[in-house]
Amino acid sequence: MIDLFTILSLLLVMGIGIVLGIILQWIRVPSSIRRYISSALFFSKRQFDHPRKKLVKLEVRGSGHGEDALSPHTEEDGHYIFQTLELPVSKIALILIDVWAEHPVSGWLERANKNISMKLLPLVQIAREHGVMVIHSPHNRAINSLLTPLPNEPVIDSFASKNRLLKTLKRSGVEHLIYAGYSSNMCVLTRQTGVIEMAQNGYKIIFVRDASLAIEAPEFLEGELTHKVVTYMVETNWGVTTEVNQIFESFQTV
Protein backbone atom coordinates (compact mmCIF):
# COMPACT_ATOMS: atom_id res chain seq x y z
CA MET A 1 0.00 0.00 0.00
CA ILE A 2 1.42 3.39 -1.00
CA ASP A 3 1.38 5.86 1.91
CA LEU A 4 0.25 9.49 1.78
CA PHE A 5 3.81 10.85 1.76
CA THR A 6 4.70 8.78 -1.30
CA ILE A 7 1.56 9.95 -3.13
CA LEU A 8 2.25 13.61 -2.35
CA SER A 9 5.90 13.22 -3.37
CA LEU A 10 4.89 11.62 -6.64
CA LEU A 11 2.40 14.42 -7.38
CA LEU A 12 5.11 16.98 -6.63
CA VAL A 13 7.56 15.33 -9.03
CA MET A 14 4.93 15.15 -11.77
CA GLY A 15 3.94 18.76 -11.21
CA ILE A 16 7.53 19.95 -11.43
CA GLY A 17 7.94 17.95 -14.64
CA ILE A 18 4.91 19.58 -16.27
CA VAL A 19 6.01 23.09 -15.30
CA LEU A 20 9.58 22.52 -16.46
CA GLY A 21 8.34 21.08 -19.74
CA ILE A 22 6.32 24.21 -20.47
CA ILE A 23 9.21 26.49 -19.51
CA LEU A 24 11.75 24.56 -21.55
CA GLN A 25 9.56 24.62 -24.63
CA TRP A 26 8.98 28.34 -24.21
CA ILE A 27 12.67 29.25 -23.96
CA ARG A 28 13.60 26.82 -26.78
CA VAL A 29 16.11 24.72 -24.87
CA PRO A 30 17.69 22.07 -27.17
CA SER A 31 15.75 18.81 -27.31
CA SER A 32 18.72 16.75 -26.00
CA ILE A 33 18.75 18.77 -22.75
CA ARG A 34 14.95 18.55 -22.43
CA ARG A 35 15.15 14.78 -22.86
CA TYR A 36 17.87 14.53 -20.17
CA ILE A 37 15.76 16.47 -17.64
CA SER A 38 12.64 14.47 -18.49
CA SER A 39 14.55 11.23 -18.02
CA ALA A 40 15.85 12.35 -14.63
CA LEU A 41 12.32 13.16 -13.48
CA PHE A 42 11.10 9.80 -14.80
CA PHE A 43 13.77 7.98 -12.77
CA SER A 44 12.59 9.77 -9.62
CA LYS A 45 8.97 8.81 -10.30
CA ARG A 46 10.05 5.25 -11.05
CA GLN A 47 11.50 4.81 -7.57
CA PHE A 48 8.11 5.63 -6.06
CA ASP A 49 6.23 3.35 -8.46
CA HIS A 50 8.51 0.33 -8.04
CA PRO A 51 9.92 -0.18 -4.56
CA ARG A 52 12.91 -2.50 -4.18
CA LYS A 53 10.83 -5.30 -2.64
CA LYS A 54 8.80 -5.71 -5.88
CA LEU A 55 10.30 -8.78 -7.55
CA VAL A 56 9.84 -10.80 -10.72
CA LYS A 57 10.86 -14.44 -10.94
CA LEU A 58 12.38 -15.06 -14.37
CA GLU A 59 13.52 -18.41 -15.72
CA VAL A 60 16.84 -18.14 -17.56
CA ARG A 61 19.19 -20.51 -19.33
CA GLY A 62 22.95 -20.87 -19.15
CA SER A 63 25.51 -23.26 -20.56
CA GLY A 64 26.79 -26.41 -18.89
CA HIS A 65 30.29 -25.63 -20.16
CA GLY A 66 30.73 -22.65 -17.85
CA GLU A 67 32.79 -22.51 -14.68
CA ASP A 68 29.86 -23.81 -12.61
CA ALA A 69 29.27 -26.80 -14.86
CA LEU A 70 29.54 -30.43 -13.78
CA SER A 71 32.81 -30.94 -15.70
CA PRO A 72 31.54 -32.82 -18.78
CA HIS A 73 33.93 -35.45 -20.09
CA THR A 74 33.34 -34.52 -23.75
CA GLU A 75 31.55 -31.79 -25.67
CA GLU A 76 28.70 -34.24 -26.23
CA ASP A 77 28.12 -34.20 -22.47
CA GLY A 78 27.39 -30.47 -22.47
CA HIS A 79 24.02 -29.37 -21.17
CA TYR A 80 21.91 -26.32 -20.34
CA ILE A 81 21.64 -24.99 -16.82
CA PHE A 82 18.22 -23.54 -15.95
CA GLN A 83 17.60 -21.31 -12.98
CA THR A 84 15.01 -18.85 -11.72
CA LEU A 85 16.26 -15.35 -10.92
CA GLU A 86 14.49 -13.04 -8.50
CA LEU A 87 14.92 -9.54 -9.94
CA PRO A 88 13.79 -6.25 -8.38
CA VAL A 89 11.77 -4.41 -11.04
CA SER A 90 13.49 -1.13 -10.13
CA LYS A 91 16.89 -2.66 -11.00
CA ILE A 92 16.01 -3.88 -14.52
CA ALA A 93 16.51 -2.05 -17.83
CA LEU A 94 15.56 -3.26 -21.30
CA ILE A 95 18.20 -2.24 -23.86
CA LEU A 96 17.04 -2.13 -27.49
CA ILE A 97 19.92 -2.23 -29.95
CA ASP A 98 19.51 -0.93 -33.53
CA VAL A 99 15.79 -1.50 -34.05
CA TRP A 100 15.94 0.29 -37.39
CA ALA A 101 13.17 1.43 -39.69
CA GLU A 102 15.27 0.68 -42.80
CA HIS A 103 18.10 -1.67 -43.77
CA PRO A 104 20.08 -1.98 -47.02
CA VAL A 105 19.36 -5.74 -47.20
CA SER A 106 15.66 -6.05 -47.98
CA GLY A 107 15.46 -9.75 -47.12
CA TRP A 108 16.98 -9.10 -43.73
CA LEU A 109 14.57 -6.21 -43.14
CA GLU A 110 11.62 -8.48 -43.91
CA ARG A 111 12.80 -11.01 -41.33
CA ALA A 112 13.52 -8.28 -38.77
CA ASN A 113 10.13 -6.60 -39.20
CA LYS A 114 8.39 -9.92 -38.62
CA ASN A 115 10.43 -10.49 -35.47
CA ILE A 116 9.70 -6.95 -34.26
CA SER A 117 5.93 -7.31 -34.64
CA MET A 118 5.69 -10.84 -33.21
CA LYS A 119 8.33 -10.77 -30.46
CA LEU A 120 10.04 -7.46 -29.76
CA LEU A 121 6.94 -5.24 -29.67
CA PRO A 122 5.12 -7.48 -27.13
CA LEU A 123 8.31 -7.55 -25.04
CA VAL A 124 8.51 -3.75 -24.97
CA GLN A 125 4.81 -3.46 -24.20
CA ILE A 126 5.05 -5.72 -21.14
CA ALA A 127 8.17 -3.85 -19.98
CA ARG A 128 6.40 -0.51 -20.27
CA GLU A 129 3.29 -1.81 -18.55
CA HIS A 130 5.30 -2.83 -15.49
CA GLY A 131 7.58 0.19 -15.31
CA VAL A 132 10.79 -1.42 -16.55
CA MET A 133 13.13 1.22 -17.92
CA VAL A 134 13.34 0.99 -21.75
CA ILE A 135 16.50 2.40 -23.35
CA HIS A 136 16.83 2.84 -27.12
CA SER A 137 20.27 2.66 -28.73
CA PRO A 138 19.76 2.98 -32.53
CA HIS A 139 23.15 4.56 -33.34
CA ASN A 140 21.90 7.56 -35.30
CA ARG A 141 19.44 5.64 -37.45
CA ALA A 142 15.65 6.04 -37.59
CA ILE A 143 13.82 3.73 -35.18
CA ASN A 144 11.09 1.39 -36.43
CA SER A 145 7.75 3.19 -36.06
CA LEU A 146 6.29 0.33 -34.00
CA LEU A 147 8.79 1.14 -31.26
CA THR A 148 8.86 4.92 -31.28
CA PRO A 149 10.42 5.95 -27.96
CA LEU A 150 8.09 7.39 -25.35
CA PRO A 151 9.04 10.81 -23.91
CA ASN A 152 10.47 9.24 -20.75
CA GLU A 153 12.59 6.62 -22.58
CA PRO A 154 16.27 7.55 -23.07
CA VAL A 155 17.62 7.48 -26.62
CA ILE A 156 21.39 6.99 -26.41
CA ASP A 157 22.95 7.86 -29.75
CA SER A 158 26.01 10.01 -29.21
CA PHE A 159 29.65 9.16 -29.87
CA ALA A 160 30.21 8.67 -26.13
CA SER A 161 27.25 6.31 -25.93
CA LYS A 162 28.91 3.93 -23.45
CA ASN A 163 29.53 6.70 -20.91
CA ARG A 164 26.01 8.06 -21.34
CA LEU A 165 24.53 4.61 -20.79
CA LEU A 166 26.70 3.96 -17.75
CA LYS A 167 25.65 7.27 -16.19
CA THR A 168 21.98 6.57 -16.92
CA LEU A 169 22.15 3.10 -15.38
CA LYS A 170 24.04 4.29 -12.30
CA ARG A 171 21.63 7.18 -11.74
CA SER A 172 18.63 4.82 -11.83
CA GLY A 173 20.18 2.02 -9.76
CA VAL A 174 19.94 -0.60 -12.52
CA GLU A 175 21.93 -3.83 -12.17
CA HIS A 176 20.33 -6.24 -14.66
CA LEU A 177 20.26 -5.53 -18.41
CA ILE A 178 17.78 -7.34 -20.66
CA TYR A 179 19.02 -7.19 -24.25
CA ALA A 180 17.03 -7.43 -27.48
CA GLY A 181 17.48 -6.05 -30.99
CA TYR A 182 19.54 -6.53 -34.12
CA SER A 183 21.65 -8.10 -35.22
CA SER A 184 22.74 -10.54 -32.56
CA ASN A 185 26.08 -11.43 -34.14
CA MET A 186 27.08 -7.80 -34.71
CA CYS A 187 25.60 -4.79 -32.94
CA VAL A 188 23.94 -6.51 -29.98
CA LEU A 189 27.29 -7.97 -28.97
CA THR A 190 29.82 -5.36 -30.05
CA ARG A 191 28.33 -1.86 -29.81
CA GLN A 192 29.55 0.44 -27.03
CA THR A 193 26.14 -0.07 -25.47
CA GLY A 194 26.11 -3.80 -26.27
CA VAL A 195 26.42 -7.03 -24.32
CA ILE A 196 30.20 -7.40 -24.19
CA GLU A 197 30.95 -3.83 -23.08
CA MET A 198 28.28 -3.77 -20.39
CA ALA A 199 29.22 -7.22 -19.08
CA GLN A 200 32.80 -5.99 -18.71
CA ASN A 201 31.45 -3.06 -16.71
CA GLY A 202 29.88 -5.41 -14.19
CA TYR A 203 26.25 -5.52 -15.35
CA LYS A 204 24.32 -8.80 -15.28
CA ILE A 205 23.25 -9.70 -18.82
CA ILE A 206 20.01 -11.40 -19.89
CA PHE A 207 19.66 -11.86 -23.66
CA VAL A 208 16.14 -12.43 -25.03
CA ARG A 209 17.07 -14.97 -27.66
CA ASP A 210 13.78 -14.94 -29.60
CA ALA A 211 13.54 -11.11 -29.73
CA SER A 212 16.65 -10.89 -31.91
CA LEU A 213 18.09 -12.27 -35.14
CA ALA A 214 21.55 -12.66 -36.66
CA ILE A 215 22.61 -11.74 -40.16
CA GLU A 216 23.09 -15.25 -41.49
CA ALA A 217 25.45 -16.72 -44.09
CA PRO A 218 23.50 -18.26 -47.00
CA GLU A 219 24.20 -21.81 -45.86
CA PHE A 220 23.15 -20.97 -42.28
CA LEU A 221 19.93 -19.09 -43.02
CA GLU A 222 17.41 -21.94 -42.98
CA GLY A 223 18.40 -23.11 -39.51
CA GLU A 224 19.46 -19.66 -38.23
CA LEU A 225 22.72 -21.25 -37.15
CA THR A 226 24.62 -18.00 -36.59
CA HIS A 227 22.00 -16.78 -34.12
CA LYS A 228 22.15 -20.09 -32.26
CA VAL A 229 25.93 -19.78 -31.98
CA VAL A 230 25.62 -16.21 -30.67
CA THR A 231 23.11 -17.36 -28.07
CA TYR A 232 25.55 -20.08 -26.98
CA MET A 233 28.36 -17.51 -26.80
CA VAL A 234 26.31 -15.28 -24.51
CA GLU A 235 25.50 -18.23 -22.26
CA THR A 236 29.14 -19.29 -22.00
CA ASN A 237 30.81 -15.88 -21.73
CA TRP A 238 28.66 -12.94 -20.66
CA GLY A 239 25.36 -13.93 -19.09
CA VAL A 240 22.20 -15.94 -19.50
CA THR A 241 19.31 -16.03 -21.98
CA THR A 242 15.54 -16.19 -21.84
CA GLU A 243 12.49 -15.92 -24.13
CA VAL A 244 9.62 -13.46 -24.47
CA ASN A 245 7.01 -15.88 -23.13
CA GLN A 246 9.11 -16.46 -20.00
CA ILE A 247 9.24 -12.71 -19.38
CA PHE A 248 5.45 -12.54 -19.78
CA GLU A 249 5.04 -15.36 -17.26
CA SER A 250 7.38 -13.68 -14.80
CA PHE A 251 5.30 -10.49 -14.75
CA GLN A 252 1.97 -12.26 -14.32
CA THR A 253 2.67 -12.62 -10.60
CA VAL A 254 3.80 -9.00 -10.09
Taking alpha carbons only, the member of 181, 170, 173, 172 closest to residue 211 is 181
**pLDDT of the residue at 70:** 61
Band of the pLDDT at 77, cuts 50, 70, 90?
Answer: confident
Taking alpha carbons only, the member of 170, 171, 179, 137 closest to residue 154 is 137
| Tens of pLDDT, residues 94-144 | 999 999 999 999 999 999 999 999 999 999 999 999 999 999 999 999 999
Q: Which of 28-32, 78-82, 121-125 has the lowest mean pLDDT?
A: 28-32
Band of the pLDDT at 15, cuts 50, 70, 90?
Answer: low
Give 147's DSSP letter: G
Band of the pLDDT at 9, cuts 50, 70, 90?
Answer: low
| Tens of pLDDT, residues 238-253 | 999 999 999 999 998 7
Domain spans of the chain?
4-49, 55-251
Strands 176-182 and 92-97, sheet pairing: parallel
Q: Mean pLDDT across the chain, nearest whole number? A: 85
Q: In the CATH hierarchy, which top-level class contains the domain 55-251?
A: alpha beta
**pLDDT of the residue at 253:** 76
**pLDDT of the residue at 14:** 64
Q: Which of 11-25, 59-73, 152-166 has the lowest mean pLDDT?
A: 11-25
For Cα atoms 42, 118, 208, give the angle at the middle one, nearest 5 degrees.
60
Handedness of CA 82, 213, 143, 168 (dihedral sign): positive
Taking alpha carbons only, the member of 202, 136, 195, 135 closest to residue 175 is 202
Band of the pLDDT at 19, cuts 50, 70, 90?
Answer: low
Q: Which residues contact 44 (CB under 8 A, 6 or more apart)?
A: 13
Number of H helices, E strands in the chain: 9, 7
Q: What is the pTM of this model?
A: 0.79
Cα–Cα dist 36/15, whole Å: 17
Taking alpha carbons only, the member of 241, 41, 236 closest to residue 154 is 41
Cα–Cα dist 194/2, whole Å: 36
Higher pLDDT, 76 or 42: 76
| Tens of pLDDT, residues 157-200 | 877 899 999 999 999 999 999 999 999 999 999 999 999 999 99
Cα–Cα dist 53/21, whole Å: 32
**pLDDT of the residue at 3:** 58
